[in-house]
Amino acid sequence: MTTLAPERLREAERTFVPRILVFSTNNISDPGIDLAGSAHMTYSPGVVVISLPCTSGIRPSWILHAIKGGFDGVFIASDGDECAYLPDCSTRASRIVAQAQELLVKGGHQSARLKMAAICSVCAEPFTRHIQQFGDALWFIFGDIRHGYAWVFPKSDHLSVGIAALHPKHGELQAGLARVAARYGVALEDAQLRGHPIPIYLRREPIATARALLVGDAAGLADPFTGEGIRLAIKSGRLAAQAILSGHPEQYPALIHQDIGVCHTFGLGLAWLFYHFPRLCFALGAPNPFITRAFADMLADRADYPLIILQIVGSLPIYLLTEGIAALAGWLGGSERREKVRSLVYTGAGK
């Protein structure tokens, strides 16, 4: 695995222009958006507005189509409870958003790329704030980079743009980075590109001598699936301290092997599966609350890879069965019934 992390200072932030499709309503949110313009408030010049009579007329498939077509985000400026056409407009709109976010996740896109908020006829400032938030989001880009992923992170005064992949071919990372930069409007001409291997411990490397114990990156302890290294640097530092304080520093490699090494082997297997079949893994994993909770536990160091793999394998039949029953319930009794089935099974799973 290799990273290439160009950090563009201020200029990049100026050149990053998120393309955002806004659905607004003729009577209420349109005047609010117009007011933002006439009051000279600043928001992305990449905003394109489509006006409709009522938010509930939006189709979830339009949103997926917009994201696939190159928009970075979609914002629904809804009427909320003030809709002149339908008293239950906001309930319907929430349902559309839930369905569209599900479509996005199944298509390998982040659900956060769709946002909705009520924008009134004088809500110029809230509108610009919502649009600004699209530019402030963390972007993880999967499915586009062979056996890896890319990211765009806004920092306080610059953007951090990077790419990581398992065993990339010569020049592949640079080409992938250029593609991502072009798509997100980040100019790379003067960027300083920096790259290095992410060290993955394979249990063969010596990590201790009689007078030194290696921890963190020096011991090659980055996570094999996510590439994150801070958690394992802290964990290995603790194990090193524990070995020294116990008067048996020679036991440190065994502690690492037991607490980290074994999990690494499972993590490598999972990484291979995910980065070779990202779309399938996304479709089955991202909307599955059992799996998202397992990963949150892993990031918080409450669960390790063997447990996560067990949860993935164990929850898949339950998830597929639940989705099948929910689809049937939705077909027979409408979307409320479908959501009822889901919440019955998933309550607590996604928390």
Ligand X SMILES: Cc1cc2nc3c(=O)[nH]c(=O)nc-3n(C[C@H](O)[C@H](O)[C@H](O)COP(=O)(O)OP(=O)(O)OC[C@H]3O[C@@H](n4cnc5c(N)ncnc54)[C@H](O)[C@@H]3O)c2cc1C
Q: Give residues in contact with ligand X (CB under 6 A).
A: 3, 5, 162, 216-218, 222, 228-231, 233
SS3 at position 97: helix
Sort strands 114-118 and 73-78 into parallel, antiparallel or unpaired: parallel
Nearer to ligand X among residue 186 and residue 222 (C-beta): 222
Asked if residues 44 and 21 have their Cβ atoms less than 8 Å apart, the reply is no
Asked if residues 198 and 86 have their Cβ atoms less than 8 Å apart, the reply is no
Cβ atoms within 10 Å, residue 159: 24
Tokens, residue 82: 């003030």
Beta bridge partners of 172: none
Q: How far apart are CA 40 and CA 253, in angstroms?
A: 62
Tell me the closest approach of the beta carbon of residue 281 to ligand X, in angstroms: 20
Q: Closest residue to ligand X, Cβ-based?
A: 229
Tell me the closest approach of the beta carbon of residue 164 to ligand X, in angstroms: 9
Tell me the closest approach of the beta carbon of residue 49 to ligand X, in angstroms: 35
Tell me the closest approach of the beta carbon of residue 162 to ligand X, in angstroms: 5
Nearer to ligand X among residue 116 and residue 180 (C-beta): 180
In Å, how far from its chain's centre is CA 81? 31
Tell me the torsion sign for CA atoms 294, 298, 299, 301: positive
Tell me the closest approach of the beta carbon of residue 166 to ligand X, in angstroms: 16
Tell me the closest approach of the beta carbon of residue 222 to ligand X, in angstroms: 5
Asked if residues 83 and 90 have their Cβ atoms less than 8 Å apart, the reply is yes
Q: Treating both helix axes as pointing N-terminal to C-terminal, what angle do 278-285 and 305-333 enclose, rounded to 10 degrees?
A: 70
Tokens, residue 92: 């319907």
Nearer to ligand X among residue 80 and residue 229 (C-beta): 229
Tell me the closest approach of the beta carbon of residue 267 to ligand X, in angstroms: 14
Nearer to ligand X among residue 234 and residue 280 (C-beta): 234
Tokens, residue 60: 């979830």
Nearer to ligand X among residue 19 and residue 264 (C-beta): 264
Residue corresponding to tokens 């609010």: 32
Nearer to ligand X among residue 89 and residue 232 (C-beta): 232
- Which distant-in-sequence residues (6+ apart) come within 8 Å of 91 by Cβ? none
Nearer to ligand X among residue 122 and residue 218 (C-beta): 218
Tell me the closest approach of the beta carbon of residue 235 to ligand X, in angstroms: 11
Nearer to ligand X among residue 8 and residue 130 (C-beta): 8
Tell me the torsion sign for CA atoms 254, 258, 260, 262: positive
Nearer to ligand X among residue 228 and residue 336 (C-beta): 228
Cβ atoms within 10 Å, residue 91: 13
Tell me the closest approach of the beta carbon of residue 143 to ligand X, in angstroms: 20
- Which distant-in-sequence residues (6+ apart) come within 8 Å of 21 by Cβ? 48, 50, 66, 71, 73, 74, 75
The dihedrals phi and psi of 180, each to the nearest 5 degrees, come to: -65, -45
